[in-house]
């Protein structure tokens, strides 16, 4: 207050760092004191219009006036939140929002940068340097200014005197109780004299007392000066206090009169109407409380109802009830203290239901998969399965397929184990006390017993897969129905949005009023709607009216109710393939993508079921094959095994639509071993037969003739053995093949049967076709090479002990080879029809074999010709043209030719016999011509020519007499040299 009349220091606009005081005129310093304005208004008169200037309680009751102010002006201006409020002019004068408001830059003012002031800085720099230089040259006269200031400013003089008082007395926390302050004000050195006071101490104490008295005088003078400056205002305020009290008394009387009038108006005009509105609102509140209490009573029964539903495994109903209760708690019963723990309890109960559903589904899967495997493909408790699947989908527990898969694996293991136990328990030759392990008991079985066990496992697994497929079809139908309902619901919702928005424009005024007052729509109709006895246990669910109008929660059905099932949970009925009707709610938490993945997972689960069954069968087969049991099977047993496995594989493919390769692969590995053993056995057998073969014509039993006859139209099939029919027929000397006679040895008959076994094995086991082709080629090559060694190479002389290899042996070997060559194209066609086109290159083996056989046949025929050629050379070298006729030489030639014909005529066909004798005759003519040339016998008609002609005629006659050579053209004219 003391400094209110002085101007505060302000910063100077020049470059000097100091401050200067505002210069004032000495005449204006001691100005007259103005009287303060009258703080009280004029006194009101008794007239009625004298109060019109003040605010009216009735007319201005809703308008803000100065009387509504609750904070004084200094408190509003002295904002404690501002650190520098005394020096911040803008916030002090115009409020907090002035400096804190963000001001958008003007679009009409260009941006100003430092470069715009560069010309000005450049212009004023020189002037500033000159000004600074002048200040240094002529310093200010401080003494003169101070003297002038003291003379012309008495107020400054008083301020100077006040400044003499130490600052410690001016501190707001000045207190003599503080030892530091006390020592600073009264130094202890002035009171150090205890026994005797020195003159120096007395003087210093007196000086301190005078100094403090001087400080007191200075302060009193300044206080008196300040009081003198405001004396008129103080006395004026004291005189106007009486007028203020009179004004307040008259004002209070006017206010009392006005309040009486307002009280009478309130009783007569307002109290009745307000009471009616109050009673109506009270009635509505009571109705709301009543509805809330009924809703609370229903919600209170939620947990017992859920327990009752769970006792009957109604998981879907329990989950729907929990979801509905949770929604009611969040919307209509929010904030109810008694239900503060119910939401968390329902969440825990929902988690418990999840665990119960998973455990129940696991139990269901175990009981379904482990029930007796009879010819019953019906789904076990289909309604229970649908309820479980729907509940699991509702709770997003999609791992139930993994649970079912684990149960399938355990059930498949149990099926194999139970089948083995059943078979073993019926076998008396297996002592279960000695052989404890099931694997060891199974290995004791012979093939018929083990094969019966395998077929039993196959049949059980077939029923097992059919049951799984039926169960998964039900699960898949539930998923697809839910997915289809989702798609239809979205289409209906998109169509109903426009209808809902159009209907929202015409709201009932009463409903609009209730919405404005914050009530529920259902409460506005509660008087006209009575809940039936059957629906007392259901929730009366209401929704946000705004969301209902805009259609975000609108139902997809054209007709809806206002009960608990019509707000957000719409239901639709669908029927599963088994005829069970299910109800689908729309509050599912799954997306279309997740439902699609579940549907695909169901299909994959069916594929896995097929793979599991195949894998268990593979393990069962491989457990029996450890000791080489399957490799030792004969062809018929292995073929029966292969057929059974292939039948089971095709049946599983038909059921599961999945081609499992594990079982076929295991059979293929065993088939490869079987093929190796099959081939080695027959190759060894063929080698033994060839080593014991004496190369004599064998009788052909009827069964071999039937075997050959079964190969008709190029189709190779082994005939069924008919003992009675074959016993009635007698063996024949020749094998009739397509009307031709084949004289064969016993080894070839068995070889043909072996070849047909190879071909039949390929029909029974298609997977080993390529291996069989290779092995059969090796077998045919082995027969060709070994027979060549034994006959042409004369190996039979040492192996069997033959004395010599006769022409009959050679002819018989040739005919056997011709029989095999006859069947090679049929064998080739048989294999060609059973291999892939990319494997046709393997058929070249038959081409090579055919060539080798034909070469071998040609070598045998050449060998026969060579025998006669050597004989002719030996006989004709001694030929002499002389009597008697015919000569001994020609007699011997005819004799040897007759023996040759006798040896081969019954073995070789007539055409081959003729071709052979044509070649023999050619050699004979060659040797005869050479001998005649040596003897200088020419066809000159002389005696020698006549003798030779007679011998040749004898030779020709003997040859043409032989069977089959009657029409043979010998052309004996070639024996004579042509005349030049």
In the beta sheet, which residues pair with residue 20? Answer: 10
The whole-angstrom separation of Cα 112 and Cα 604 is: 73
The whole-angstrom separation of Cα 234 and Cα 230 is: 6
The whole-angstrom separation of Cα 893 and Cα 481 is: 101
Residue with structure tokens 């040739």?
A: 814
Phi, then psi, of 571 in degrees rounded to 5: -120, 155
Amino acid 99: pLDDT = 53
pLDDT band for position 68 (50/70/90)? low
Residue 51 has pLDDT above 60, yes or no: no
The whole-angstrom separation of Cα 686 and Cα 679 is: 10
- Burial bucket for residue 100 (CB in 10 Å: 0-12, 13-18, 19+): exposed
Mark whether 734 and 602 lie in a shared domain: no
With a pLDDT cut of 90, the percent of the chain lying above it is: 16
Mean pLDDT of all residues in the chain? 75
Contact yes or no for 637/674 (Cβ under 8 A): no
Amino acid 554: pLDDT = 33
pLDDT band for position 139 (50/70/90)? low
Does 942 fall in a domain? yes
More confident residue, 959 or 597: 959
What's the mean pLDDT in 732-761?
89
pLDDT tens digits, one per residue of 122-134: 888 888 888 888 8
What's the mean pLDDT in 46-63?
54
Does 824 fall in a domain? yes
Residue 48 has pLDDT above 70, yes or no: no
Question: What is the CB-side half-sphere exposure of residue 620 using CA atoms within 13 A?
Answer: 27
**Residues spanned by the domain of 476:** 374-493+590-648
What's the mean pLDDT in 75-91?
53
Amino acid 782: pLDDT = 94
Torsion angle, alpha carbons of 216, 217, 223, 227, to 10: 140
> Cα–Cα distances in Å, from 342 out to 299, 349, 724?
9, 10, 90
Mark whether 884 and 817 lie in a shared domain: no
pLDDT band for position 72 (50/70/90)? low
Contact yes or no for 444/435 (Cβ under 8 A): yes
Least confident span in 5-9, 157-161, 379-383? 5-9
Does 949 fall in a domain? yes
Amino acid 9: pLDDT = 41
Does 243 fall in a domain? no
Amino acid 785: pLDDT = 94
Residue 75 has pLDDT above 80, yes or no: no
Token representation of residue 696: 């004599």
More confident residue, 619 or 388: 619
pLDDT tens digits, one per residue of 286-304: 998 898 888 888 888 887 8
Greatest alpha-carbon span in the chain: 209
Residue 152 has pLDDT above 60, yes or no: no
Amino acid 376: pLDDT = 66
Task: Name every residue whose Cβ is closer than 8 Å to that of residue 92 and which is 6 or more positions away in sequence.
Answer: 77, 85, 86
We report the CATH number of the domain holding residue 891 as 1.20.1280.130
Token representation of residue 255: 């206010």
Task: Name every residue whose Cβ is closer than 8 Å to that of residue 313 and which is 6 or more positions away in sequence.
Answer: 360, 384, 387
If you count DSSP H runs as helices and E runs as strands, how many of each does the chain have, helices first?
34, 6
Task: Name every residue whose Cβ is closer than 8 Å to that of residue 627 and which is 6 or more positions away in sequence.
Answer: 443
Residue with structure tokens 């200075």?
A: 218
Residue with structure tokens 């209490």?
A: 293
Mark whether 771 and 826 lie in a shared domain: yes
Torsion angle, alpha carbons of 178, 181, 183, 185, to 10: -130
DSSP H helical ranges for 693-768: 702-709, 723-728, 746-764
What's the mean pLDDT in 737-753?
90
Question: 99 — alpha (psi -120 to 50), left (phi > 0) or beta?
Answer: alpha
Residue 971 has pLDDT above 70, yes or no: yes
Phi, then psi, of 19 in degrees rounded to 5: -115, 150
The whole-angstrom separation of Cα 698 and Cα 409 is: 61
The whole-angstrom separation of Cα 680 and Cα 842 is: 21
pLDDT band for position 710 (50/70/90)? confident
Helix (H) or strand (E) holding 19: strand 19-20
More confident residue, 931 or 498: 931
DSSP 97-158: HHHHSPPPPPSSSPPP-GGGGHHHHHHHHHHHHHHHHHHHHS---HHHHHHHHHHH-HHHHH
Mark whether 472 and 602 lie in a shared domain: yes
The whole-angstrom separation of Cα 244 and Cα 229 is: 25
Q: Could you give the 3-state DSSP secondary structure of residue 53?
A: coil
Amino acid 686: pLDDT = 92
pLDDT band for position 1 (50/70/90)? very low
Contact yes or no for 226/4 (Cβ under 8 A): no
Token representation of residue 670: 């065993």
More confident residue, 71 or 798: 798
What's the mean pLDDT in 404-426?
83
The whole-angstrom separation of Cα 676 and Cα 678 is: 5
The whole-angstrom separation of Cα 182 and Cα 65 is: 53
pLDDT tens digits, one per residue of 476-494: 888 888 777 766 766 776 6
Does 912 fall in a domain? yes
What's the mean pLDDT in 148-152?
46
> Cα–Cα distances in Å, from 865 out to 118, 576, 676, 858, 872?
132, 87, 41, 11, 10
Instruction: Look at strands 19-20 and 10-11 and give their pairing.
Output: antiparallel
The whole-angstrom separation of Cα 637 and Cα 447 is: 8
Residue 862 has pLDDT above 90, yes or no: yes
More confident residue, 24 or 800: 800
Token representation of residue 813: 């070997």
The last residue of a domain, from among 841, 865, 889 = 865
Mark whether 788 and 882 lie in a shared domain: no
pLDDT band for position 69 (50/70/90)? low
730: which DSSP letter?
Answer: P
Mark whether 630 and 744 lie in a shared domain: no
With a pLDDT cut of 70, the percent of the chain lying above it is: 71
Residue 690 has pLDDT above 70, yes or no: yes
> Cα–Cα distances in Å, from 374 out to 378, 393, 472, 570?
11, 31, 19, 42
Mark whether 429 and 388 lie in a shared domain: yes
pLDDT band for position 312 (50/70/90)? confident
More confident residue, 375 or 855: 855
Mark whether 714 and 625 lie in a shared domain: no
Token representation of residue 351: 């988690």
How many other β-carbons are positioned within 10 Å of the β-carbon of residue 428?
Answer: 6
Amino acid 636: pLDDT = 78
The whole-angstrom separation of Cα 210 and Cα 190 is: 13
Amino acid 209: pLDDT = 85
Least confident span in 23-37, 515-529, 835-849, 853-867? 515-529
pLDDT band for position 105 (50/70/90)? confident
Mark whether 858 and 888 lie in a shared domain: no
What's the mean pLDDT in 931-936?
89
Least confident span in 253-257, 591-595, 698-702, 703-707? 591-595
- Burial bucket for residue 754 (CB in 10 Å: 0-12, 13-18, 19+): buried
Residue with structure tokens 């002609």?
A: 949
User: Which of these, 715, 787, 779, 785, lies nearest to 744 by C-alpha position?
Assistant: 787
Mark whether 799 and 699 lie in a shared domain: yes
pLDDT band for position 561 (50/70/90)? very low
Amino acid 190: pLDDT = 57
Residue 199 has pLDDT above 80, yes or no: no
The whole-angstrom separation of Cα 929 and Cα 896 is: 19
The last residue of a domain, from among 865, 893, 911 = 865
Residue with structure tokens 């049929």?
A: 826
Does 769 fall in a domain? yes
More confident residue, 786 or 186: 786
Opening angle at CA 689, ends 684 and 693, nearest 5 = 150
More confident residue, 419 or 860: 860
Amino acid 784: pLDDT = 94
DSSP 208-255: HHHHHHHHHHHHHHHHHHHHHHTHHHHHHHHHHHHHHHHHHHHHHHHH
Does 96 fall in a domain? no
> Cα–Cα distances in Å, from 382 out to 257, 365, 406, 575, 598?
87, 12, 21, 12, 19
Residue 52 has pLDDT above 50, yes or no: no
pLDDT tens digits, one per residue of 638-669: 788 888 888 888 888 888 887 877 888 887 78
Token representation of residue 648: 């089971």
The whole-angstrom separation of Cα 912 and Cα 896 is: 18
Q: Could you give the 3-state DSSP secondary structure of residue 202?
A: helix
Least confident span in 296-305, 393-402, 855-864? 393-402
pLDDT band for position 18 (50/70/90)? very low
Does 126 fall in a domain? no
Helix (H) or strand (E) holding 163: helix 154-163
Q: Could you give the 3-state DSSP secondary structure of residue 722?
A: coil
The total of structural domains in the chain comes to 3
Q: Is the dihedral of CA 763, 768, 773, 778 positive or negative?
A: negative
Residue 840 has pLDDT above 60, yes or no: yes
Mark whether 416 and 459 lie in a shared domain: yes
C-alpha R_g of the chain: 66
What's the mean pLDDT in 871-876?
90
Amino acid 778: pLDDT = 94
In the beta sheet, which residues pair with residue 742? Answer: 735
Mark whether 907 and 844 lie in a shared domain: no
- Burial bucket for residue 241 (CB in 10 Å: 0-12, 13-18, 19+): exposed
Amino acid 497: pLDDT = 59
Residue 974 has pLDDT above 60, yes or no: yes
């Amino acid at each position: 207050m003391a400094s209110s009349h002085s101007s505060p220091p302000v910063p100077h606009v020049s470059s000097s760092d100091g401050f200067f005081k505002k210069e004032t005129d000495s005449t204006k310093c001691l100005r007259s004191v103005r009287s303060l304005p009258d703080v009280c208004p004029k006194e009101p008169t008794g007239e009625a219009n004298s109060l019109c200037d003040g605010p009216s309680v009735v007319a201005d009751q809703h308008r803000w006036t100065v009387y509504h102010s609750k904070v004084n002006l200094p408190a509003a201006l002295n904002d404690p939140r501002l650190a520098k409020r005394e020096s911040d002019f803008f916030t002090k004068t115009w409020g907090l929002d002035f400096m804190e408001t963000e001001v958008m830059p003007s679009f009409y003012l260009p941006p100003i940068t430092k470069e715009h002031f560069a010309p000005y800085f450049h212009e004023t720099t020189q002037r500033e340097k000159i000004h600074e230089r002048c200040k240094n040259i002529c310093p200010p006269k401080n003494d003169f200014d101070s003297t002038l200031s003291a003379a012309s400013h008495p107020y400054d003089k008083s301020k100077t005197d006040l400044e003499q008082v130490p600052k410690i007395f001016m501190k707001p926390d000045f207190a003599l109780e503080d030892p530091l302050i006390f020592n600073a004000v009264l130094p202890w050195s002035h009171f150090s004299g205890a026994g005797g006071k020195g003159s120096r101490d007395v003087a210093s104490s007196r000086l301190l007392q005078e100094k403090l008295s001087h400080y007191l005088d200075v302060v009193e003078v300044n206080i008196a000066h300040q009081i003198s400056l405001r004396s008129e205002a103080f006395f004026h305020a004291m005189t106007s206090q009486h007028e203020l009290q009179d004004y307040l008394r008259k004002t209070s009387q006017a206010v009392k009169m006005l309040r009486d009038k307002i009280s009478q108006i309130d009783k007569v005009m307002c109290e009745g109407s307000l009471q009616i509105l109050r009673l109506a609102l009270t009635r509505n509140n009571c109705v709301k409380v009543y509805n809330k209490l009924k809703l609370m009573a229903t919600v209170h029964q939620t947990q017992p109802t859920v327990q009752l539903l769970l006792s009957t495994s109604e998981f879907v109903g329990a989950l729907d009830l929990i979801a509905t209760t949770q929604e009611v708690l969040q919307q209509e019963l929010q904030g109810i203290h008694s239900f503060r723990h119910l939401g968390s309890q329902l969440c825990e109960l929902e988690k418990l239901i999840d665990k119960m559903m998973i455990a129940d589904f696991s139990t269901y899967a175990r009981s379904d998969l482990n029930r007796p495997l009879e010819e019953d493909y019906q789904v076990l408790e289909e309604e229970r399965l649908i309820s479980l699947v729907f509940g699991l989908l509702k709770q997003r527990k999609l791992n139930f397929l993994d649970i079912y898969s684990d149960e399938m694996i355990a059930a498949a293991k149990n099926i194999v184990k139970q089948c083995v136990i059943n078979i073993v328990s019926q076998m008396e030759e297996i002592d279960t006390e000695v052989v404890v392990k099931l694997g060891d008991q199974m290995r004791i079985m012979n093939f018929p017993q083990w094969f019966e066990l395998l077929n039993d496992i196959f049949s059980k697994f077939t029923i097992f897969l059919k049951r799984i497929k039926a169960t998964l079809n039900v699960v898949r139908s539930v998923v697809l129905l839910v997915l289809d309902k989702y798609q239809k619901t979205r289409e209906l919702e998109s169509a109903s949005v426009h209808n809902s928005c159009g209907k929202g424009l015409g709201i009932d005024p009463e409903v609009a009023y209730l919405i404005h007052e914050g009530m529920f729509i259902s409460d506005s109709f509660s008087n006209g709607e009575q809940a039936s006895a059957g629906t007392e246990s259901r929730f009366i669910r209401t929704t946000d009216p705004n969301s209902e109008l805009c259609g975000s929660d609108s139902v997809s059905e054209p007709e809806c109710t206002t009960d608990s099932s019509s707000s957000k949970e719409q239901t639709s009925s669908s029927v599963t393939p088994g005829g069970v009707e299910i109800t689908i709610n729309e509050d599912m938490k799954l997306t279309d993508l997740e439902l699609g993945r579940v549907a695909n997972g169901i299909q994959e689960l069916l594929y896995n079921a097929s793979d599991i069954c195949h894998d268990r069968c593979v393990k069962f087969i491989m457990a029996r094959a450890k000791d080489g049991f399957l490799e030792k099977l004969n062809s018929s047993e292995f073929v029966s095994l292969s057929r059974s496995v292939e039948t089971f594989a095709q049946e599983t493919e038909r059921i599961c639509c999945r081609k499992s390769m594990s079982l076929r692969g295991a059979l293929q590995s065993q088939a490869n071993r079987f093929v190796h053993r099959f081939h080695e056995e027959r190759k060894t057998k063929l080698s033994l037969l060839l080593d014991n073969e004496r190369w004599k014509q064998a009788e052909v039993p009827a069964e071999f003739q039937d075997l050959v006859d079964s190969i008709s139209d190029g189709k190779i099939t082994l005939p069924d053995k008919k003992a009675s029919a074959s016993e009635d027929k007698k063996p024949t000397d020749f094998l009739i093949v397509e009307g031709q006679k084949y004289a064969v040895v016993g080894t070839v008959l068995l070889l043909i049967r072996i070849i047909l076994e190879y071909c039949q094995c390929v029909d029974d086991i298609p997977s080993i076709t390529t291996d069989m082709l290779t092995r059969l080629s090796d077998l045919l090559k082995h027969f060709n090479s070994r027979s060549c060694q034994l006959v042409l190479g004369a190996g039979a002389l040492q192996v069997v002990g033959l004395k010599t290899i006769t022409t009959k042996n050679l002819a018989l070997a040739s005919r056997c080879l011709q029989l095999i060559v006859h069947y090679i194209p049929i064998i080739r066609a048989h294999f060609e029809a059973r291999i892939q086109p990319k494997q046709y290159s393997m058929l070249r083996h038959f081409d090579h074999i055919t060539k080798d056989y034909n070469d071998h046949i040609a070598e045998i025929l050449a060998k026969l010709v060579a025998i006669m050629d050597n004989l002719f050379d030996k006989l004709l070298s001694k030929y002499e043209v002389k009597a008697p006729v015919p000569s001994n030489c020609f007699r011997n030639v005819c004799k040897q030719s007759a023996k040759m014909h006798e040896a081969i005529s019954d073995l070789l066909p007539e055409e081959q016999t003729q071709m052979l004798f044509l070649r023999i005759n050619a050699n004979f003519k060659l040797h005869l011509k050479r001998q005649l040339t040596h003897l200088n016998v020419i066809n000159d008609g002389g005696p020698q020519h006549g003798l030779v002609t007679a011998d040749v005629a004898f030779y020709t006659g003997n040859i043409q007499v032989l069977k089959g050579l009657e029409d043979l053209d010998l052309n004996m004219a070639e024996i004579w040299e042509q005349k030049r």
